[in-house]
Amino acid sequence: MNMQKPPPIQGPRQPAEQVVFNRMELGAIMGLYGRMVAAGEWRDYGLSFLRDVAVFSIFRRTAETPIYRIEKRPKLRSRQGQFAVIGMDGRILKRGNDLRIVLRVLDRKLIRAVK
């Protein structure tokens, strides 16, 4: 008797891998965001999760281009650092592997705005 195995049951398709911010990273970003909103500097944000990069975009007004982007690129972890703060003009303001240290470049802008 010839017994063939039935074809494997296929479950739901797994979505393509995405880079995301973890809970601690989002906590650090949202803490800074909340302080800047309270100071009247920022008003809106957007999140993008792609295959190679996760982006937290910061807006002064809703209909504008982002004034800052906080990016996470895990492939750059061993080179320049996986986190970067990028200005409106595309310049990298700070890059590194420790998100809290990278975000300090924006904290300094808060201190100047409050004075």
DSSP letters spanning 81-114: -SEEEEETTS-EEEEES-HHHHHHHHHHHHHHHH
Does residue 9 register a pLDDT over 70? no
- Mean pLDDT (whole number) for 11-26: 77
Does residue 65 register a pLDDT over 90? no
Residue 17 located in a structural domain: no
Residue 1 located in a structural domain: no
Contact yes or no for 51/16 (Cβ under 8 A): yes
Residue 13 located in a structural domain: no
Q: What is the pLDDT of residue 76?
A: 86
Residue 65 located in a structural domain: yes
Residue 18 located in a structural domain: no
Distance CA 81, CA 102 (A): 10
Residue 5 located in a structural domain: no
Residue 4 located in a structural domain: no
Q: What is the pLDDT of residue 12?
A: 61
Residue 52 located in a structural domain: yes
Number of domains into which the chain is organized: 1
Q: What is the pLDDT of residue 97?
A: 93
Confidence of residue 60 (pLDDT cuts 50, 70, 90): confident
- Write down the pTM of the prediction: 0.77
Average pLDDT, the chain: 83
Domain extent, residue 89, equals 23-114
17 burial via Cβ count (<10 Å: 0-12, 13-18, 19+): exposed
